[in-house]
Structure 1
């Protein structure tokens, strides 16, 4: 009898402890992030003071991504949502602003004083190359030819999907394949039965909804994402360590405004994180010193902030648009450019298939490397951002100094 009473008391104590632990966890602020580099910075800042959760499929390319019902549930519960902004993540804006109050959204490209660079026009930036020519009718001809080929030849269409990772990511991005997410079956049912208003952002190619999206964001002052001449800025702004420090400042300030009791703990963690970022900046500068004159090609123009920080000068990008593969004319021009401009290396990306790079390499001494602006497959945690940036440096130096 005594033993039964003891076991009952022990079980009650354990249950009480578990309930207290759950209540404590539930009391922590919830931060939702849209891409892995921002998740890494947020986790490094808050530690166990808050909970950080990413949107699903955040390792995939953020261009054209749609949100799933499980993402919408996260957004509605979030105390802070950290996004890069509409230029990179235009497809999620309507769902985001329909489910989260504006003062709970931190848009990094809107941080006062953040360093923004304009998108580079044309796909080759080598000295003496005519940018207007690269961005003009020749490219449109390539696109028209490519579209015709894709619709007329099954193998061309399949290759187009391979080149842009759609075999791997398209179903993910439209919520049809969760790759093991535990709420997959539940989400599929919700996707069919859920209130239409919560999913109106899923049809991102509907022109009427795009018009509503643009009107909505004009009301929130998003027109400053464009420079005076109407060109959008390059959205890959997290690849500048100086920008990353400003992002950390902004995340801390907004989180303290929501949860003042975290002020002292966050201030201590932020000081340590800023010091670590400054050391990273110094290390990368030392590693990449002397490589400013080495010519190379990237797969798409995602690294301008990193290159600007460390004096690198890429010759250009293979893709003019991440959503399209180049046509035959474009590839021919790139091959000619490689042969006549001493281009040493071309970099692929894990989100895209490298078939096009093999075409460029034929009968040349062009070397290959891999760059990843998102941190595809990196483990989550406070070191994620540092690994991303170090991996970029290691890949660049490894290919450019061989």
Structure 2
């Protein structure tokens, strides 16, 4: 009886022991957060650093967000070409947290910034990069997540890093990665089928955020209106854009929900151009493991709707 009582007590103590806490993971923007969340399903939940509707190009962190970083075991970001505001805060972590930069992940496709024609010169170098010279060092388009093959590469790296941080849950991360990979493959095929009928139709975008999406699905953009949301195009540039719209037969212009549409009005005035909305961050989609596929599907549906509308 005494032995039985001792076994019961030991079992109760074992049950009462708290499970090892999941790693504290912070992801900067909603699409990256979604991919990390999908890899962590059943183990833990990552923290989203930026609100879904916030542009990462020129963001100022609050003290509460700085504390998130200080408490993190892992930080997942695109890289200094996008979230410039994070360079100094990440440097102060002193190696305590594992930092995964999507731009540095093996197998990631990095496309050059577009210039010339009516792609505004200097590309994303005109976003405030604090004079660190990233234009010369890393002259790539930073919207890497808009290609599902890049999303797969990031998910693979995150799963490997989590397995190192949390080996007890490594099998769960591998299972989740298999599920994420299957879902991304199916999503990719779905979008290919959806956009194939409209891929030769020209369109104009508010700013050059969609190169990876366009490249993946063979779309036909003619240019962008501006490189920075707060930059009003001058009269000469507006005239050049209007001429290009007319000469190319463009009937569709995409704006973004994060930015006011007043910049677009003088460009489209009097032209038979339809307006669509593309959101490269998926700010209106609830955060979580399903945000990324929902955001990509919404992009494809919006593109198809605007480009397939009869003239």
TM tier relative to shorter chain: 0.7 to 0.9
Report the CA distance between 1:58 and its aligned residue: 4.6
**1:76 aligned onto 2:70:** yes
Question: Of 83, 91, 94, which aligns to 1:89?
Answer: 83
1:262 is aligned to 169
CA distance in 2, matches of 1:387, 1:96: 30
CA distance in 1, matches of 2:77, 2:137: 22
Mapped contact 1:345–1:367 kept (Cα < 8 A) = yes
**1:112 aligned onto 2:106:** yes
The change in CA–CA distance for 1:68 and 1:286 in structure 2 (over 3 A counts) is same
Please provide the CA RMSD for this pair.
2.6
1:150 is aligned to none
1:372 is aligned to 279
Question: Of 59, 72, 77, which aligns to 1:65?
Answer: 59
**1:352 aligned onto 2:259:** yes
Counterparts in 2 of 1:222-233, with a 5 A limit? Answer: 232-233=139-140
Mapped contact 1:123–1:317 kept (Cα < 8 A) = no
**1:298 aligned onto 2:292:** no
Question: Of 272, 282, 301, which aligns to 2:179?
Answer: 272
2:36 is aligned to 42
Q: Which runs of 5+ in 1 are unaligned?
A: 1-15, 126-133, 137-142, 144-203, 215-222
Report the CA distance between 1:241 and its aligned residue: 0.2
Query: Secondary structure of 2:204's match?
Result: strand
The structure whose Rg is larger is: 1
2:9 is aligned to none
Mapped contact 2:30–2:281 kept (Cα < 8 A) = yes
Figure out how many residues of one structure are paired with residues of the other and give that number: 293
2:24 is aligned to 30
String of CA shifts for 1:206-253, please: whole Å, max 9, x gaps. xxxx57xx4xxxxxxxx9x77xx7661000000000000000000001
1:283 is aligned to 190
2:8 is aligned to none
String of CA shifts for 1:14-58, please: whole Å, max 9, x gaps. xx9xxx69x54x712111000000011111111131221111435
1:51 is aligned to 45
Mapped contact 2:39–2:177 kept (Cα < 8 A) = yes
CA distance in 2, matches of 1:336, 1:321: 21
Is 311-320 or 335-344 further displaced after alignment?
A: 335-344
Query: Secondary structure of 2:206's match?
Result: strand
Q: TM-score, normalised by structure 2?
A: 0.87
**1:386 aligned onto 2:293:** yes
CA distance in 2, matches of 1:323, 1:122: 21
CA distance in 1, matches of 2:203, 2:247: 13
Question: Of 233, 242, 258, which aligns to 1:335?
Answer: 242
Mapped contact 1:35–1:59 kept (Cα < 8 A) = no
Q: TM-score, normalised by structure 1?
A: 0.68
Query: Secondary structure of 2:53's match?
Result: coil
Is 280-289 or 377-386 further displaced after alignment?
A: 377-386
Q: Which runs of 5+ in 2 are unaligned?
A: 1-11
Report the CA distance between 1:321 and its aligned residue: 3.2
Larger helix share, 1 or 2: 1
CA distance in 2, matches of 1:123, 1:50: 47
CA distance in 1, matches of 2:142, 2:227: 15
CA distance in 2, matches of 1:365, 1:102: 56
Mapped contact 1:320–1:326 kept (Cα < 8 A) = no
Mapped contact 2:50–2:56 kept (Cα < 8 A) = no
String of CA shifts for 1:287-341, please: whole Å, max 9, x gaps. 0003222010000000000000000010100113344221122112211221222
CA distance in 2, matches of 1:58, 1:392: 15
Mapped contact 1:75–1:100 kept (Cα < 8 A) = no
The runs of at least 4 aligned residues of structure 1 exceeding 4 Å deviation read none
CA distance in 2, matches of 1:253, 1:289: 34
CA distance in 1, matches of 2:137, 2:76: 26
CA distance in 2, matches of 1:124, 1:319: 9
